[in-house]
C-alpha cells in the first residue's frame, strides 16, 4: 500500500511538473476515461464545489510563462510588466508580483487593483491609455509609478500641470506610433497612423525638446505597442528598430532616455488541437511552442535594440494568462432545429464575449468524454441574442444535458470583459496551484447587481 501511494505521488508530481512546463495548456486527463484535471484537481470536483459557469486558472502555468520571458531576457536590464487588462483578478496580480513582475495599467481602477494586491509594486507600474483623466494622473503621481506612457501632446501638458500642482516630477515616455503593420484582427491592431493610439514618431523629437524645458517633466523613456495577438516576431523587431533610431537621435541632441518600452502583443495558438490524454495537453499545432516563441520574440527585440544599454520593458498579457484559464460550463439542453443541432450551456456571451465580439475561436472539450462519433453543432448560451454563441458548425463529440464542457484558452479577456447582460450574475473564479484550489472571486448574486440602484 505504501509503495502504491509513493508511486501515485510521483506520478502526480511528474504530471504537475510537465503541466507547468507545457508548451500549451495545463488541462489534461490523467487516465483514459477520467475527467479533465487542472494540476491535481479534477474539474468535476470544482464544478461540484463552486457550481458553473466557473473560471478555472492554473497558477503554475501563469508563473511558468512569466519565467519564460524572464529567462529569455536575463542578459539585459528588463522588467516584464503584466498587462492588467487581460485578467485583473487580485490573486493573479499578487501571484505575478511575487514572481517579480511589473504591471501595465490603462486606468485608475487598474492602478487601485495593483495597489490592493501588491502595495509595493507602484514603482514597477507603467500607465498607458489614450484618455487619462486628471484624477487618474493625480492618483498615479501620488503612488509614485515608474512612468506614464503619454499618447498625445495635450495629455503631456495636463501631466505637467498636475505634477506642478502636486509638486512631484513626472517621469514620462511618449508612446510613438511607428506605422508598422501587424497581421491581426483590426480591432486589436494599434500601430498604424489611422489608429487612435500613440504619437506620430516623426513628431516625437520636437515634443521631447519642448518637454526638456519643463522642470516638472522628466523624459524617462519611449514606448511602442503595435497590437495584440501577433504571431510573428518580425513586426516587433521592425517597431523597436524604428524606436531605437529615435533614441539615438535624441541622445545626440542631449536627451538621454533610460527606458524603451516594447509593449505587448505576442499571440497564442487558439486553434491548437486538444489531446486530453497527453500530459499537460501539449499543443499539436505544427511549429507552435511557447518557449520557442518567447525566444524568437526576445531575439528579434534584442537585435533591434542594438547598442541601447538602458532598461527594457515589455507588457505581455494574453501570453501569460490566456492558456492558463478555462471557462467551465454545464450543458442544459441539446436541441435540434431542422438541420442544426444546438448545444445550450449555462455560460453565455456575458461570461465570454470574445466569440461574439471578435469571431474568436476557443476549443471546446467535454470534461468527461462520452463514446460516439463527433457531430457538427452550434455551442450557444441562454442569452436572448442570436450573437450569443461560442462556436458555430463545430465538430464536437457527443454531450448530453448535465455534462460539463470546458472552453479553453479563456484566461485572458474572459472575465475581464464579462458583463451582467440579461441581469446575469458574473461567474466565480478559482485558482489552482499544484493540488490546491481556492476561490479567488465568489459568484455574484442578484442582490449584488441590484445594490447600487434606487427606485
Q: Hey, is 170 helix, strand or coil? A: strand
Q: Residue 67's closest CA among 434, 316, 234, 310?
A: 316
User: String of b and e for 121-131 (b: at least 16 CB within 10 Å)?
Assistant: bbebbbbbbee
Q: Residue 79's closest CA among 104, 106, 112, 113?
A: 104
Take residue 322 and report the three cell numbers written for it: 490566456
Give residues with Cβ within 8 angstroms of 389, minimum separation 6.
349, 355, 356, 378, 379, 380, 381
Instruction: Compute the distance between CA of residue 336 and CA of residue 348 in angstroms, rounded to an integer.
Output: 19
Distance of CA 82 to the CA centre of its chain: 8
Distance of CA 73 to the CA centre of its chain: 20
- Is 38 noted as a catalytic residue in this protein? no
State the burial class of residue 224 (Cβ atoms within 10 Å of its Cβ: 0-12, 13-18, 19+): buried
Q: Residue 176's closest CA among 249, 252, 80?
A: 249
Q: Cα-flanking dihedrals φ and ψ of residue 103, to 5°?
A: -140, 140
Strands 27-28 and 125-127, by their bridges, are unpaired
Q: Hey, is 208 helix, strand or coil? A: helix
Instruction: Compute the distance between CA of residue 349 and CA of residue 372 in angstroms, rounded to an integer.
Output: 28
Q: List the catalytic residue out of 2, 371, 384, 455.
A: 384
Q: How many residues does the chain have?
A: 455
Q: Which residue spans within 338-396 are E strands per DSSP?
A: 340-345, 364-366, 375-380, 389-396
Instruction: Compute the distance between CA of residue 123 and CA of residue 273 in angstroms, rounded to an integer.
Output: 40
User: Catalytic residue positions?
Assistant: 384
Amino acid at each position: 500500500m505504501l509503495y502504491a501511494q509513493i508511486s501515485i505521488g510521483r506520478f502526480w508530481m511528474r504530471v504537475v511538473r510537465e503541466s507547468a512546463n507545457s508548451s500549451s495548456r495545463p488541462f489534461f486527463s490523467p487516465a483514459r476515461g477520467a475527467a479533465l484535471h487542472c494540476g491535481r484537481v479534477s474539474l468535476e470536483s470544482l464544478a461540484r464545489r463552486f457550481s458553473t459557469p466557473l473560471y478555472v486558472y492554473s497558477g503554475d502555468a501563469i508563473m511558468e510563462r512569466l519565467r519564460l520571458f524572464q529567462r529569455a531576457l536575463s542578459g539585459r536590464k528588463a522588467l516584464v510588466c503584466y498587462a492588467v487588462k487581460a485578467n485583473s483578478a487580485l490573486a493573479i496580480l499578487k501571484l505575478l508580483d511575487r514572481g517579480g513582475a511589473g504591471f501595465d495599467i490603462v486606468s485608475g481602477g487598474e492602478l487601485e487593483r495593483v495597489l490592493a494586491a501588491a502595495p509595493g509594486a507602484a514603482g514597477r507600474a507603467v500607465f498607458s491609455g489614450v484618455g487619462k483623466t486628471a484624477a487618474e494622473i493625480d492618483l498615479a503621481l501620488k503612488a509614485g509609478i515608474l512612468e506614464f506612457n503619454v499618447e498625445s501632446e495635450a495629455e503631456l501638458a495636463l501631466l505637467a500641470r498636475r505634477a506642478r500642482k502636486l509638486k512631484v516630477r513626472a517621469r514620462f515616455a511618449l508612446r510613438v506610433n511607428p506605422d508598422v503593420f501587424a497581421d491581426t484582427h483590426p480591432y486589436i491592431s494599434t500601430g498604424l497612423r489611422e489608429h487612435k493610439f500613440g504619437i506620430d514618431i516623426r513628431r516625437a523629437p520636437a515634443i521631447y525638446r519642448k518637454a526638456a524645458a519643463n522642470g516638472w517633466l522628466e523624459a524617462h523613456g519611449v514606448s511602442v505597442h503595435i497590437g495584440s495577438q501577433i504571431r510573428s516576431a518580425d513586426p516587433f523587431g521592425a517597431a523597436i528598430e524604428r524606436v531605437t533610431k529615435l533614441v539615438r537621435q535624441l541622445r545626440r541632441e542631449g536627451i538621454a532616455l533610460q527606458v524603451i518600452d516594447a509593449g505587448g502583443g505576442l499571440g497564442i495558438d487558439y486553434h491548437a488541437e486538444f489531446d486530453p490524454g497527453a500530459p499537460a495537453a501539449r499543443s499539436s499545432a505544427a511549429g507552435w511552442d511557447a518557449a520557442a516563441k518567447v525566444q524568437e520574440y526576445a531575439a528579434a527585440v534584442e537585435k533591434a535594440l542594438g547598442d541601447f544599454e538602458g532598461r527594457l520593458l515589455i507588457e505581455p498579457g494574453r501570453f501569460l494568462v490566456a492558456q492558463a484559464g478555462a471557462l467551465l460550463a454545464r450543458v442544459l439542453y441539446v436541441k435540434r432545429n431542422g438541420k442544426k443541432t444546438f448545444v445550450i450551456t449555462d455560460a453565455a456571451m456575458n461570461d465570454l464575449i470574445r466569440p461574439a465580439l471578435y469571431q474568436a475561436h476557443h476549443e471546446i472539450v467535454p470534461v468527461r468524454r462520452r463514446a460516439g462519433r463527433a457531430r457538427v453543432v452550434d455551442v450557444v448560451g441562454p442569452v436572448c441574442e442570436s450573437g450569443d454563441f461560442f462556436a458555430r458548425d463545430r465538430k464536437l463529440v457527443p454531450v448530453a444535458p448535465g455534462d460539463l464542457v470546458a472552453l479553453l484558452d479563456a484566461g485572458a479577456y474572459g472575465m475581464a470583459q464579462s458583463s451582467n447582460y440579461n441581469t446575469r450574475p458574473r461567474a466565480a473564479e478559482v485558482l489552482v496551484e499544484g493540488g490546491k484550489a481556492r476561490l479567488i472571486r465568489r459568484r455574484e448574486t442578484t442582490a449584488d447587481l441590484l445594490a447600487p440602484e434606487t427606485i
